[in-house]
Amino acid sequence: MKIFRLTLLAAALSPLALSSALAQNTGKIKVGLMLPYTGTFAALGNAIENGFRLHVMEHGGKLEGREVEFVKVDDESDPAKATDNVNKLIKRDNVDVLIGTVHSGVAMAMAKVAKDTGTLLIVPNAGADAVTGPMCAPNIFRSSFSNWQPGYASGEVVAKKGHKKVVTITWKYAAGDESVRGFKEAFEKSGGKVVKELSLPFPNVEFQALLTDIAATKPDAVYTFFAGGGAVKFVKDYAAAGLKKTIPLYGSGFLTDGTLDAQGADAEGLETVLHYADSLNTKRDNEFRLSYAKTFKLQPDVYAVQGYDAAQMLAVGLKGVKGDLSKKAEFAAAVEAAKIDSPRGPFTISKAHNPVQDMYLRKVVGKENTLVGIASKGLTDPARGCKM
């Protein structure tokens, strides 16, 4: 049967076209990694790449039987350079798939180009709500979260703790704005009030004046979104200003993920909400953590998990199209039907292509974000504005 189909295919195609069609399905797959390798999010980009590579290594250097070739671009978390960077990967390097990125502003530029060109894109971190909202497309997927998800789940947690008056503080860009919006939606629905929204431009870390404002406002609690190098500095400055002892600090879990070595005692006891924790203690997560630690001599974090799962999603899609990435509808159908066996716990992909996943409440104990419990079970992003 297989020979018959191949004979028919051979009759229909010239020898050159036939060999290139076969090569498309069986040859190397070119993966374009567009991630930050410098700046405040550099460690996040490296962890995502490590996670992605780990999945490939665990499968003999292949994804669904195809060898993988990587092309890398440092996007510097700079939205102004994003369109040029992504066009280089697509037009100069001819990548088959784009994996990127960390920063929401850069990811929105990537999503626009991916949508316009039909290039397959898997976002392994950036939470920009628009990517799986108004910009959603059959060829765009996310292995991480929407900014709304940890924000909304945090709002429910902080309300349940009995806090009534909250000040928020974050970077003024899509991720910060959307995280705070999600928080506010849930917190105010439960009767709380966000009394002040403080922000500073990304990636500034001059927090002093804002911390003075928080001390003067005397809220019941503070909610924050910071990540990477900025999160390290914020947690240290919050403690140094004497606020940690008087005003409880909450955050989406990026505040303390991949940062605990640098934050030390200043992070101890902080409670945050995220789709991963260091002590899930499941067989799947323990195996992943051991494999990651052995390979990279580092402890994994949420970013490593998201990179690993981006590779898993690509493998699932490739399997569904038998290696032929031109079959976009079939690729999407395979990913939409899958249950991804993630170290964070199994998750599915929504119609808008965002993970439907549990949100965990975690507490910093020593060098770990230990699991306190499930803050929100199977939380689905509302995908506002997605028409697909």
243 alpha-carbon distance from chain centroid: 30
Whether 124 and 198 have beta carbons less than 8 Å apart is answered as no
Surface-to-core class of residue 200, CB atoms within 10 Å of its CB (0-12 exposed, 13-18 middle, 19+ buried): middle
- The count of other CB atoms within 10 Å of the CB of residue 152 is 27
Residue nearer to ligand BEZ on the CB measure, 96 or 381: 381
Smallest gap from residue 105 Cβ to ligand BEZ (A): 7
Smallest gap from residue 259 Cβ to ligand BEZ (A): 11
Site for ligand BEZ in 36-65 (CB under 6 A): 41
Residue nearer to ligand BEZ on the CB measure, 29 or 109: 109
Smallest gap from residue 23 Cβ to ligand BEZ (A): 36
CA distances (Å), origin 332, targets 52, 217, 352: 20, 49, 10
Rounded to whole angstroms, how far apart are CA atoms 382 and 28?
A: 37
Smallest gap from residue 285 Cβ to ligand BEZ (A): 20
Interaction of residue 103 with ligand BEZ, rule CB under 6 A: yes
Interaction of residue 254 with ligand BEZ, rule CB under 6 A: yes
Whether 230 and 257 have beta carbons less than 8 Å apart is answered as no
Surface-to-core class of residue 94, CB atoms within 10 Å of its CB (0-12 exposed, 13-18 middle, 19+ buried): exposed
Residue nearer to ligand BEZ on the CB measure, 300 or 320: 300
State the amino acid at position 223 in one-letter form. Y
Question: Contacting ligand BEZ (CB under 6 A), which of 47, 222, 227, 267?
Answer: 227
Interaction of residue 260 with ligand BEZ, rule CB under 6 A: no
Q: Per CB under 6 A, which region of 120-128, 211-219, 286-294, 323-331 contacts ligand BEZ? A: 120-128
Site for ligand BEZ in 325-384 (CB under 6 A): none
Smallest gap from residue 324 Cβ to ligand BEZ (A): 32
Q: Is 347 helix (H, G, I), strand (E, B) or coil?
A: strand
Strands (E), 38-180: 62-63, 66-74, 97-99, 120-123, 140-142, 165-171
Question: Contacting ligand BEZ (CB under 6 A), which of 34, 42, 109, 126?
Answer: 126
Mask of contacts with ligand BEZ, 304-323, x by CB under 6 A?
--------------------
Rounded to whole angstroms, how far apart are CA atoms 224 and 237?
A: 13
Smallest gap from residue 190 Cβ to ligand BEZ (A): 24
Q: Per CB under 6 A, which region of 9-17, 66-74, 101-109, 359-367 contacts ligand BEZ? A: 101-109
Whether 48 and 306 have beta carbons less than 8 Å apart is answered as yes
Rounded to whole angstroms, how far apart are CA atoms 255 and 307?
A: 19
Contacts 24+ apart (CB under 8 A), 57-60: 57/295, 58/291, 59/315
Residue nearer to ligand BEZ on the CB measure, 51 or 127: 127
Interaction of residue 102 with ligand BEZ, rule CB under 6 A: yes
Smallest gap from residue 231 Cβ to ligand BEZ (A): 9
Q: Which residues contact 267 (CB under 8 A, 6 or more apart)?
A: 235, 256, 259, 260, 364
Interaction of residue 226 with ligand BEZ, rule CB under 6 A: no
Smallest gap from residue 305 Cβ to ligand BEZ (A): 13
Number of residues that bind ligand BEZ (CB under 6 A): 12
Smallest gap from residue 328 Cβ to ligand BEZ (A): 25
Interaction of residue 276 with ligand BEZ, rule CB under 6 A: no
Smallest gap from residue 248 Cβ to ligand BEZ (A): 22
193-200 vs 249-252, strand pairing mode: unpaired
Residue nearer to ligand BEZ on the CB measure, 32 or 127: 127
Q: Is 74 helix (H, G, I), strand (E, B) or coil?
A: strand
Interaction of residue 127 with ligand BEZ, rule CB under 6 A: yes
Q: In this structure, what DSSP letter does residue 276 have?
A: -
Q: Would you tell me which residues interact with ligand BEZ (CB under 6 A)?
A: 41, 102-104, 125-128, 147, 175, 227, 254
